[in-house]
Amino acid sequence: MSITQSPSTAAPTAFHTPADVQEFVDLWADIFQPDTIEWCDGSIAEKDRLISLMVSQGTLEPLNAELRPYSFIARSAPSDVARVESRTFICSTTESEAGPTNNWVEPGQMKTDMLDVMTGSMRGRTMYVVPFSMGPIDSPLSRFGVQLTDSPYVVVSLHTMVRVSSDLLDIMDSHHTWVRCVHTVGAPLEEGQADVAWPANDTKYISHFPDTKEIWSFGSAYGGNALLPKKAFALRIASVMAKEEGWLAEHMLLVRVTSPEGKVYHLAAAFPSACGKTNFAMMQPSLPGWKVETLGDDITWLAAGPRGELRAINPEAGFFGVAPGTSRKTNPIAMDTLWGNTIFTNVATTSEGDVWWEGMSKTAPSDLTDWQGNAYDPSSGTTAAHPNARFTVGIHQCPTLGEGWDDPEGVAIDAIIFGGRRSDTVPLVMEARDWNHGVFLGSTIASEQTAAAEGPVGKVRRDPFAMVPFCGYNMADYFQHWFDVGSDLRENGHTPRIFQVNWFSKNSDGQFIWPGFGDNIRVVKWMVDRIEGNTGATHHPMGLLPQRGSLDIEGLDLTDSDLSALLDPNTERVLDDLDDAEEFLSKFGQKLPPALLTELQRIRNELGGAGGNQAAA
């Protein structure tokens, strides 16, 4: 059981605490000045006690236990509803190391600024010490950390999202590297001062220190700002660790696909937001005999295995998903996953004590309470649930969870997929010629903005590898690291195939041409056929495209013109897109790997010289 101490910082005698962990806790206890310190053990009893505490404080409200067993709703402060990219910093030694896609502040200056607001920021509160593992505790691919926080909401969320255990303290004693995660809501309580249901601070920092493997977060209790093992550790800091150690930390889903013949394939796929990532991770195939199992929906770590193959783990243990748009139609598996044992944040609630959000049903129930706790007025022009409303639930509740999803050895990757949201220009599917061409495809991925995000609707934004918000160092060096990993894999003859997909082509009426969702298995089937050598492909300067008849479209209402729009890239649009990609890549200056410009120029030359499809492969 967890043990509360005050004012001593010492770990309970039941815990074996490494000296450097104790020093870390001592240092920050002096800075934060909490009233009490609690060392967390990750037990069910601990989680239950903290949930009861938050119910009594008004942070959580129980839902109807008959409709949604052991589930709760949290309503955040209106100023604390999403990741704040403008206040997210990569504090490497030099600005060049951070690169043009990151906000940079010199690390000494950042620590000085943050210590000014962090000193005394936990007065009147409890400081929780949370040891955790990213990935199976006994996996060679896993990494460890300790988060300090004054938010019980964060502690309970970490129980779901990662592996929290006091047993890790024993293991960490033999590890030289563990990530130091420091978080405070920045809302000290003076003696006699009443608390609020969702304490936060208008000033926010989410700062990463790659050289010392530290993350400091101030002012927010929400999502990736506060659940530091997620985006902050698992991508921003882990991407730096991966570069140093020769592996990859990626914003990718992970699935197992089984063919009707019983052959198994493992796919990792990177998609920017609003591109169907979670739907792919929980796909229900429309083709008979095919099976897709969920291994992860958001983050994948990949490293060379003992035989030189690329292996992957999901470093998380839960889902922190966007609720709006999730429904029985779009993602029935996700809906089944949320049957109970779930914390919902900033969704609406029904008069029966259940949850609701836009997209769950065609019409909204009457008598809704909105995400801020007020009676919802449909004529107000606002949404009942916040557009970034979330659910936090354990991965073990997913009906399509694959057996051995937490195998310490991970799974061997057969293919890597990149995707974006494009109404034209990019075909439904194409295969990279080789690894270097695949890196080019990943580095030039772009998506058109939707109404759910900042920016003009339809504007194309580059998001290489879906990692622009999450790469912890200069993306030019990140591109080179991908080239280097591919070179090592080639030496062992185990380079995965690379594909690019686009589910979002539209016709002249502005309607989506491809049905998507479970029919995306048809595209996966073509990929499998390519891996097995069972089908040819058509050479195009952009990549290898499906030959007519090789893509299974039986039963779909697609015309010849539809197929042409899906599979035949328009040369003029592709050339314009290459110009846009080159302009984006130019921001990296002399650090940009020459191999990327070589690939770009090759495609441009082939389009200008050949102007269309070539011989079959």
Label the pairing between strands 163-164 and 179-184. unpaired
Do 611 and 592 form a contact (C-beta atoms < 8 A)?
A: no
Do 608 and 572 form a contact (C-beta atoms < 8 A)?
A: no
Q: What are the CA-CA distances from residue 469 to residues 11, 444, 466, 474, 527 (Å)?
A: 36, 15, 8, 12, 29
Do 158 and 130 form a contact (C-beta atoms < 8 A)?
A: yes
Catalytic residue among 40, 91, 181, 275: 275
**How high is the pLDDT of residue 242?**
98
Which among 131, 132, 135, 47 has a CA at the least distance from the CA of 316?
A: 135
**How high is the pLDDT of residue 612?**
41
Structural domains present in the chain: 3-58+87-245 (3.40.449.10), 249-317+406-609 (3.90.228.20), 318-397 (2.170.8.10)
Tell me the three state secondary structure of residue 447: strand
Say how many CA atoms lie within 13 Å of 265 toward its Cβ. Answer: 27
Composition of the chain by helix, strand, coil, percent to 5 = 30, 20, 50
Is 181 in the active site?
no
Chunked mean pLDDT (size 10), the chain, 617 residues: 54 80 96 97 97 98 98 97 93 98 98 98 98 95 97 98 94 82 97 95 98 98 95 98 98 98 98 89 97 98 94 98 93 97 98 97 94 95 95 98 97 97 96 97 90 59 96 98 95 91 94 96 98 96 95 95 95 95 96 97 84 44
Q: What is the secondary structure of 585-614 as a DSSP string?
A: HHTTGGGS-HHHHHHHHHHHHHHHHT-S--
- Distance between the two ends of the chain, CA-based, in angstroms? 62
pTM comes to 0.95
d(CA 363, CA 611): 49
Determine the Cα angle at 347 with ends 344 and 350, to 5°: 105
Show Cβ contacts of residue 508 under 8 Å, excluding neighbours closer than 6 positions.
Answer: none
Do 89 and 78 form a contact (C-beta atoms < 8 A)?
A: no
d(CA 219, CA 116): 13
